[in-house]
Each structure stands twice: as C-alpha cells, then as structure tokens.
Chains A and B, each alone.
With several copies, the nearest count.
Chain A
Amino acid sequence: MRTVAEFKIQYRQVLDPQGRIVAALPAFAADTDEVLRMYRAMTMARVFDAKAMNLQRTGQLGTYASCLGHEATHIAVGAAMAAEDILAPVYREVGTQLWRGVTMREILTYWGGDERGNDFAIPRQDFPWCVPIATQTLHAAGAAMAFKIRKQPRVAVAYIGDGGTSEGAFAEALNVAGAANLPAVFVIVNNGWAISLPVAAQTKAQTLAQKAIAAGIPGMQVDGNDVFAVRQVVAEALDAARLGRGPCVIEALTYRLSDHTTADDASRYRSEAQVKQAWELEPLIRVRAFLVNAGIWDAAQEESLLRSCAEQVEAAVSAYFSAAKPSTDAMFEHLFAVKPAHLLEQRATARKYGTKSSGH
C-alpha cells in the first residue's frame, strides 16, 4: 500500500496557566501598552457578562449566553482583526464584539428582545448575532467571495462552536472556502460542551482542527485561554488570507465556565469537579500574572480597572433601560425596501391592537 497523503495538526501555547512564557513572545506582546489594552478588554467583557447575567436573573434581559471563560479567545480574535475585516459571530462572542466597536447598549438591546441591537453603529458591515448554528460560516464565505471578486485586501472571520462543527453547513463552508481559495478564517471555539453534549460525544475526531483536512485547508489548535497564542495564530491566518494564500481553521481550546445559557442548568449533566478544574486554567489569571511579573500591574490598578469597568457597564445599562419599547410599526418597516399593500393594512391592525407593556 502506497501512502498518498499525510497530515499534521499542531498546537500552540505562549503563556501557560501560571503566566509563564513557554514560547517565543510575539511582537505585540512585547508592547506592554498593547497587553494592557487586551487585559482591560478581557476584564471589561467579564464585568459586562456578570452584569448581563444579573439583569436576566432579575427579569430585565432575555435569555443570555455567558462568555465567561472565553475572554482570551474573544479579545485575541478582535485584536488580530483589521477594522475593515468582517466578523460573523454566533451568540456568545461578547469580547470580540466589544473590541470591534459594538456597544454594550446594543448587545443588551438585542438580548433584551429588540432588533435595534443588531444595527451596529460602528462595525457596519459585520454580521449580526446568529442563532441558527453554523449558518454564519457560509455568510463569512460569501463575504470573503465578495472581497476576492473585488480584490479587496479584507478577510471574513467566522466563529463556530464545537457542537457547530457537526452541522453540514460548516463542512460546506470549509470546502467552498478551500475550493475557491477564499480569504476566510474559521475560529472553532471548543469550550468542551454543546449544551449537555461533551465534545467527545459530538465527534470521534480527536481534534476539531482536523475538520479542515476534509476541505484540504490548514487547521491548527491553540490554547484558547492564552490571549497571546490565539492572537498570534489568528494574526498569521489573517495575513495569509489577505495575501491570497487561502482560508484556514483554528481550534481554540477553552471551557464554558457558565451554564449554556441562563435557560440551562449544567449541574444536570456535568460535574462540579470538572468546572472547578477549568477555573484554574481560566484566561485572566495568566495575563494578570504576566503583567505583575513584568512589574506593570498591581492590586490598586486592578481595583481601579474593575471600578471603571463597572461604571461603564452601569452607564450602558441605564442607556438600555432608557430606550422606549419599539412601536408596532417596527414589525413592518424593514421587511422589504418596497412595502406590498397588504403589509400597510396589517401595520394599521397592529397599531390598533398594540399593547402598551414592554413585553417583559
């Protein structure tokens, strides 16, 4: 028997869980201001997330999917991307969204049950939150095709979860990205769980990065709790894509420290011990340790950071609360550019019967 093809999946880590440097430090990490910027953003994501969870529990927000534990991956991807690149998120990538310029108020507005939260003021071309699993990977491939046709040096980045990799749409997106050599980067956030299904039950594949091999494109694994490693790997992938070298798949290994969403109770299907262990690997500890070791961070700075994050979150929350419930016209305004007659009749009916309550 002749061997006709061989493949390797490699894994990268730069900062270990204790904050020790275990590989060559990427250039951006030598710039302490940049590292501080990422650390502050990770902290902001976590503070915002805690508040959102709290708003949901008190009935002031709808179902919400926490990003707890994903901060390194989310911020690293945001930091690696160029403003003109575009993002196709799922529903959990708060950190990347904030870095890209989506506001906390917009995020709360969407999860508060109001489409206006998807009308991002800053990343105008980024895709909105995407609930149907894996579908967004095809949107990213399509946007990447537009960049290629127009010869724009831009890259489309799509997120997907470990569970999402089982959807056929994801395989189709990887395959077409490879076949058409599209400037697209697919980031698999392997947080160990798809609601109650552990990744080992999701697939027999020993890595999710190897999903790339089916499409004949590169795939690699990275410590998703290591903001340095993720940013480095994603930056390399973006450069390659921008230069016309095609797409790739990056599997970021992290852990879902929260329940799946506020509607879930993970204690039904996973052990406290596993979660406790995962906490030791969570992404903020190691960056903080790195900064402290570098002598540029202390308890006082940490405290004032947390205070300023809390203040910004509070400001966003009151802005969120201040918004009036959308009018019933909102159901009809954006269905078509040109409204068919029957929608005008129905809009009138909706006005007539419109409830006053906020729907909460």
Chain B
Amino acid sequence: MIEAIAMAHGWEMQHDANVVVIGQDVGANGGVFRATAGLQERFGKERVQDTPLAEAMIAGMSVGMATQGLKPVAEIQFMGFLYPALDQIVNHMSRMRNRTRGRLTCPVVMRMPHGGGIHAPEHHSECTESMLCHIPGIRVVCPSSPARAYGLLLAAIRDPDPVMFLEPVRLYRAVRQEVSDDGQALPLDVCFVLREGNDVTIVTWGAMTIETLRAAAELDSLGVSAEVIDLATLSPIDIETILESVAKTGRLVIVHEAVRNLGVGAEIAALVAERGLYDLQAPIQRVAGFDTVVPLFKLEQDYIPSAQRIIDAVQNTLADQG
C-alpha cells in the first residue's frame, strides 16, 4: 500500500502546482514508512519540506498555507503524535471556512499511520479516529487496500476542505496489489461493499477488513453469508448504504480496532438504532479493541480483535432469535 500512497502524491503534485508536502523526515528520508519516497528529488525542497519537530506547528502552518491557496499534504509520523496538533485542527482547520463565511478555507490533508500490529514501540499503535470524527468541519478517511489508498488520497487532496487520512500500518507492506497510476480518484463520503451477503452485515474499515474478510470466508464455509462493508469515510458516515444492507440481512456486527467506548462503531450502532430498529432481528454487536490502553507489542495480538472473535459475534447474532 505504501507505494500506492507515494504514487498518489506524485500524480497530484505533478498535476497541481499548489500541492505541497510537509512533515518530519518526508524529504531525503522519504518518510519513516517511505510514503513520500522520491518526492523531494522530483519536486524540490520547496514543495517537499522537512519540518522541525513540532506537530502543532505542522498543523498550524498547514492552515496558514492553505488560506493562501496552497494544498498542504502534511504527514504526522504516527497517530500517537497527532495530539499536539489537535488544537489547530479543532479550533482552526475545521472552522476557518465557517468562521470567515467562506472567505478563507483549509484544503489540507493530514496523513498519519493508524493502528497497530507491527510490533512497534509505545504510542505507535493508536486508533483514535473517534476524536477526529467528532470534530465538525473535517472529513476522516481510512483506506483498506492499495487501490483505495491511491484513489481516496487523490480525492482527499482534491477536496476543498480538510481531510484526516488514516493509513493502517499493518497494510503498508502486507498488502500488495497492482495499482495503475491513472489519477482516478475514488469518491469520499461513501462506503465500499467488499463482499455481498444475506445473513449478516459486518461494517469495518482499515486493517480490520483483513480479519473481517477472513472471518467472512470461514463463515461462508459454515454456510453463513456475510456482507462486508468497508466504511472508508469514517466521517461523515454513509449510513444509507449500511441501513440498506441491514434491511436485507436484519443483523449488524461492527468491527474496529479502536476501543469500544465511543469508537466509531457507537455512532453506527446509534444511527441504526434510530433509523433501522425495525429491521434488526437481533441485537447489534460490536467487536472492538478493549477499553484500555493499547498494550506494548507482546500483547498486541491479544488486543486487536481476531477473526475468531468476529466469527463468534456473528454466530451470536444468528443464534439470537429474539
């Protein structure tokens, strides 16, 4: 997936002179995960800038640059280091358009590695997308494959408003896929149905699509047909697609790596409980990270929801005949 991300940067910088890349080690080093590899050689030190070590600065500078019509694509080295930048995101990036009645805008993309599973050190396995999704005025996007990473990143850069782009670290190297560098963006604000099914709807995103699809395959062999939906844009939520699926299957399981309490799954469950209650034939189930701090890596596999947990949750909803 990492190559697809670098490719999307390259395409858009080639076609839009206003796109500028900033962040820690994005230049000569090409990013700690190599997401910006080769860009500085290609586009120069003004358009691909290594910044000093300060996240609030990266976000605040992005706001200032964007109000002048540039399109900053800023890398935050890991999601666990985003927090110093939240003030600028909540109080300015997400509000500048509204505050000035459209006079000044913030077409900014903030990219960051998301989630765990690669035996990284402390603070390198965060999934705090909820904190971002709760902020009005920004979009939050999380790709689940190289092709979607390429198409959604292009869409994010082209979007006239701020987009938080969360890149699942487990997919950076794991998933390989031929992606044609055709500059075709994918739509924001919509889900992708990864697998059709009739017995249960499973909504997930990012790296958890892997365990979920594995679970779906195994369920299939057990005669259970699961529909798997990749949320893709975590805010705003494309609830229509989910409601249609639930209307068909009557059962909903939500899977995410983030802690359960106020994870994005909570909003999905709430929307379905408000608007799709009568379609539900069994209680909604959330399979999520535990409501605790992501453990250091010796236990991370015990923290990240497993395919088995997903399978059991599906079996429970099916067993439940009300």
A positions within 8 Å CB-CB of B:
62-63, 88, 91, 110-116, 118-120, 124-125, 127-129, 131-133, 135, 137-150, 156, 163-164, 166-169, 172-173, 175-176, 179-180, 194-197, 201-203, 263-264, 268-269, 325-326, 328, 330-338, 340-343, 346, 349-350, 353-355, 357-360
Residues of B with Cβ closer than 8 Å to A? 20, 24-25, 27-30, 32, 46-47, 49-54, 56-57, 59-70, 72, 80-81, 83-84, 87-88, 91-92, 96-105, 119-124, 136-137, 159-161, 189, 236, 239-240, 260-261, 290-293, 295-303, 306, 308-309
Given that A138-B60, A202-B52, A332-B290 are contacting pairs, would A125 and B67 also be in contact in the complex, using a CB cutoff of 8 Å?
A: yes
Contact of B122 with A138 in the complex, beta carbons under 8 Å = no
Closest to B308 in A: A353
Task: Give B271's nearest chain A residue, CB to CB.
Answer: A342
Using known A-B contacts A146-B68, A269-B29, A335-B293, determine if residue A201 contacts B50 with beta carbons closer than 8 Å. Answer: yes
Q: Are A334 and B57 in contact (CB-based, < 8 A)?
A: no
Q: Are B137 and A141 in contact (CB under 8 A)?
A: no
User: Please, could you name 29 A-B residue pairs with CB atoms under 8 Å apart, sorted by A?
Assistant: A62-B119, A91-B121, A113-B298, A119-B101, A125-B67, A127-B67, A131-B123, A138-B64, A139-B60, A141-B60, A141-B61, A142-B61, A142-B62, A143-B68, A145-B64, A164-B53, A167-B54, A167-B84, A168-B54, A173-B57, A269-B28, A333-B101, A334-B98, A334-B102, A337-B160, A337-B161, A342-B239, A355-B301, A358-B298
Asked if B65 and A336 sit within 8 Å, CB to CB, the answer is no
Interface centre among A115, A120, A332 (most CB of B within 10 A): A115
In the complex the two chains form, what is the Cα distance from A138 to B74 in whole Å? 15
Contacts of B49 in A (CB 8 A): 180
Q: Say whether A146 contacts B70, CB under 8 Å.
A: yes
The residues of A that contact B306 with a CB separation of less than 8 Å are 353, 355
Given A115-B295, A139-B67, A326-B299, residue A131 in contact with residue B54 (CB < 8 A): no
Query: B301: which of A62, A148, A326, A357 is its contact (CB, 8 Å)?
Result: A357
B52 touches A149 (CB 8 A): no
For the complex, what is the distance from the CA of A173 to the CA of B64, rounded to whole Å? Answer: 11
A118 and B99 within 8 A (CB): yes
Q: Which 4 A-B pairs have the closest CB atoms?
A: A142-B64, A138-B60, A146-B68, A113-B297
Chain B: minimal CB distance from A40 (Å):
28
Residue contact B291 to A342, C-beta cutoff 8 Å: yes
Extra A-B contacts (4), CB below 8 Å, given A350-B302, A360-B298: A164-B53, A335-B293, A343-B292, A353-B309
Knowing A115-B296, A176-B57, A353-B308, say if A142 contacts B100 (CB, 8 Å).
no
- Is B99 touching A135 in the complex (CB atoms < 8 A)? no
In the bound complex, do residue B87 and residue A135 qualify as a contact, i.e. CB atoms below 8 Å apart? Answer: yes
- With both beta carbons as reference points, the residue of chain A lying nearest to B120 in the complex is identified as A63
A269 to B41, CA, bound (A): 13
Please name all residues of chain B whose beta carbon is closer than 8 Å to the beta carbon of A357 when the two chains form the complex. 301
- Taking the closest CB of chain A, its distance from the CB of B285, in whole angstroms, is 12
Is the pair A132, B98 in contact by a Cβ cutoff of 8 Å?
A: no
For B236, what are the chain A residues with a Cβ–Cβ distance below 8 Å?
340-343
Minimum distance in angstroms from A80 CB to a CB of chain B? 21
Partner of B24, one of A63, A143, A197: A197
Q: How far is the CA of A346 from the CA of B239 in the complex (A)?
A: 15
A195 and B52 CA atoms in complex are apart in Å by 11
CB distance from B54 to the nearest CB of A (A): 4
Decide: A120 near B28, CB < 8 A? Known: A176-B54, A337-B97. no
CA of A190 to CA of B51 in the docked complex: distance in angstroms?
A: 18
Contact A115 B61 (CB under 8 A): no
Q: Which of B102, B119, B295, B299 has the most chain A CB atoms closer than 10 A to its own CB? A: B299
Across the interface, B97 reaches (CB within 8 A) one of A264, A268, A334, namely A334
Q: Closest chain B residue to A63 by CB distance?
A: B121
Contacts of A264 in B (CB 8 A): 32
Q: For residue A127, which residues in chain B have a CB less than 8 angstroms away from its CB?
A: 67, 104
- The answer to whether B64 touches A156, judged by C-beta atoms less than 8 angstroms apart, is yes
Task: Return the contact of B290 from the options A147, A350, A360 (Cβ within 8 A).
Answer: A350
Q: B27 to chain A: which residues have CB within 8 Å?
A: 196
**Shortest distance between the CB of B199 and any CB in chain A (Å):** 23
Residues on B with beta carbons closer than 8 Å to the beta carbon of A150: 68
In the assembled complex, which residues on chain B have CB atoms less than 8 Å from the CB atom of A129? 122
A149: which of B29, B70, B137 is its contact (CB, 8 Å)? B70
Distance in Å: Cβ of B131 to nearest Cβ of chain A: 16
**Closest beta carbon of chain A to B126's beta carbon, Å:** 11
| Most A Cβ at <10 Å: residue of B52, B69, B81, B103 | B52
Q: How far is the CA of A137 from the CA of B303 in the complex (A)?
A: 31
Question: Given A135-B91, A269-B28, do A145 and B50 touch, yes or no (CB 8 Å)?
Answer: no
Nearest A residue to B189, CB-CB: A340
Give the CA-CA distance A243 to B252 in the complex, in Å. 63
Q: How many Å lie between the Cα of A148 and that of B49 in the bound state?
A: 13
Question: Once bound together, how far apart are the Cα atoms of A156 and B240, in whole Å?
Answer: 45
Chain A, Cβ-Cβ closest to B66: A142
A135 and B64 contact, Cβ closer than 8 Å, known pairs A113-B297, A172-B57, A196-B29:
no
Q: Which residues of chain B have C-beta atoms less than 8 A from A139's C-beta?
A: 60, 63-64, 67, 92
